[in-house]
Amino acid sequence: MTAANPPERTDVHLPYATAANGETLSWNISSHAAWSHCLIVGPTGGGKTSVIRTLLTQAARRGIPFAGIDPKTIEFDGLETEPNCVTIMGDALRAAEFIRALHCEMHARVAWVQENREQPTDLQPLIVAVDECFILSGKWQRLAKTGDDETREQLKELDPLGAWADLAVLARSAGIRLLLGVQRPDASLFGGASGNARDNFGTRISLGNLSQDGALMMWGDSTVGREVDTSVKGRGIALGDDGRPTAMQIRTPEQALAETTFTPMTWYSRELPNFLDNASRGD
């Protein structure tokens, strides 16, 4: 499939919080941004899903396509009506198929850049959000053990955990931005198969109080994010423009609305648009 050359883009910053010094904190999803993926850590009820929805709403109304995986099947309700929403899914097996198709899209984008002697910055950005990614991976592992023969064989072939590990490390150079929400940090996000990928999650947000180990994993400092005022929902720590952790208060989606711009999606693979077409028909 031949992809049309997408229009030239400038920096795109998605605001999500206000720092203690009044600075607006944003996720820079521009193609040339060094820190392209975003990780949000927070307990249930701490505002994690609110931040994800804020960022996706900001992206959608600025003409940035996004896809969402919601293993709880309730957190992304309503986002499917946003402009530039590619798909929202909750079923674990369908999500595994999507991750594999996204993996193919990533490699097709890289091949397009090489074949056409273009720059990665020419690629159209795509945000992929996963709320509670450990719940999703747990569902995959259970299906691989307890599913019927066809399901187990399908998951073995799709290898969604392996595809996801590749995406965490390589997707940045293909214009794909990952937005992950988890209840607590885990070493598997930054080590093992992911290749010590913490630096790929250059936009990191922790809501509520972290454990000592969690603070070390998120911030490299066991004292950061451990004494947050949890009486105020949405309080936490994020990286400021200087690259240092700073206290902040998240915004609500209503505080961060932008004018709506619809952007036709450019696909670089056959697998991802085929998956989306089948999903829209309920296949």
Strand partners, 176: 126
190 pLDDT above the threshold of 80? no
Which alpha helices (DSSP H) does the chain contain, by range? 48-61, 92-116, 133-146, 149-158, 160-170, 212-219, 271-281
Supply the DSSP string of 244-256, one letter for each residue: SEEEEEEPPGGGG
Calpha distance 21→137 (Å, rounded): 38
| Segment 3-29, tens digit of pLDDT | 545 445 557 889 999 998 899 999 988
Six token digits for residue 31: 């193609």
Looking from the CA of 225 toward its CB, the CA atoms found within 13 Å total 34
Six token digits for residue 95: 């999500």
Calpha distance 14→54 (Å, rounded): 9
43 pLDDT above the threshold of 70? yes
The better pLDDT of the pair 241, 183 is held by 183
132 pLDDT above the threshold of 60? yes
| Segment 46-89, tens digit of pLDDT | 888 889 998 998 888 888 999 999 999 888 999 998 889 999 99
Calpha distance 16→59 (Å, rounded): 11
Put simply, whether the predicted model's pTM sits higher than 0.75 gets the answer: yes
Calpha distance 208→233 (Å, rounded): 8
| Segment 256-281, tens digit of pLDDT | 555 677 788 889 999 999 999 988 76
The fold adopted by the segment(s) 35-281 is: Rossmann fold (3.40.50)
192 pLDDT above the threshold of 50? no
Amino acid in the structure at residue 267: W
Long-range contacts of 164-169 (CB under 8 A, 24+ apart): 164/99, 164/137, 165/192, 165/193, 165/194, 165/195, 166/103, 166/106, 167/99, 167/102, 167/103, 167/106, 167/128, 168/37, 168/194, 168/195, 168/197, 168/200, 169/194, 169/195, 169/197, 169/200
Edge-to-edge strands, sheet with 245-250: 24-28, 13-19, 245-250, 235-239, 203-207, 38-41, 176-182, 126-131, 66-69, 85-89
Six token digits for residue 251: 């915004």
Strand partners, 14: 27
